[in-house]
Structure 1
């Protein structure tokens, strides 16, 4: 039964966690155990002194499902803070992609022309291939890859989404030591 919140939406959720073994597995287990899909997942240390890492998860669901995900993440012991950046106001979301294109002749020229238009950087070149580095939102990277497919798209490696709220607010936790 669908109510007013029955519409699906995408959510970009930032989670500050203890930087320790097994935390990522617990977060992933929360999603898989309840049948929630992870569309993108990135994790990296962000505060060495306090041993914190930041996990960015992109998922989708009804408002009720997304609220459940956030509440369940917040209950995990190593989690310090959960923030739905999609609701926090204007935010930036970017991915990094390495895109290998194989081809010769006019295909090489066209690949370079399109790379220039998309502001992709050549990071490796051989006589038969290029590797482009590109940053941007998922739609931009998807569009570039779609144009490269008929030219000779051979391989794509993507980081997944990283995100941050615009302006002066920051995802931080208060120090427990003082």
Structure 2
């Protein structure tokens, strides 16, 4: 009677979990295709793995971990460094042992062969097109836009403003002036290191 109850329980389980029975059947058929030696060793190896997972680690292994977790002191030497802002000459306070900021010379248009070219900004003009019209690389425009200025002089130009470019005979933009009728001109100049500065 007990076996019929077990058989009934197995049949009910098969009805409730059809995907489980298909997986079990697939696993059983795979097991049957294994060589006879493997079928005998597989249960033994499975049992060995389960036992190894359950058995706690011996005291010798924990003692070796305790010794490796000892606190060790490491001596640090800290040297004074100068940050990038000091190197660029941007208003950082100087300490007595730090060298003065490096001043990069600004190129003077009077000492360089070239010519001034002026462009009156009209409605609908884009700065990118203006720079392209005067064969100034877009990388130069990006450098000028990236400069820290009180206002966005390059990207927010208005109709009526005049952009004056001093371009060397080699084709480099030496100076850029943006002037307005009612305000003072804004000046961007090339430095010896190839970077631009707002003046």
Alignment TM-score, normalising by the size of structure 2 = 0.22
Between the two structures, name the one with larger relative contact order (CA 8 Å, sep ≥ 6).
1
- Structure showing greater radius of gyration is 2
Bigger proportion of residues as helix: 2
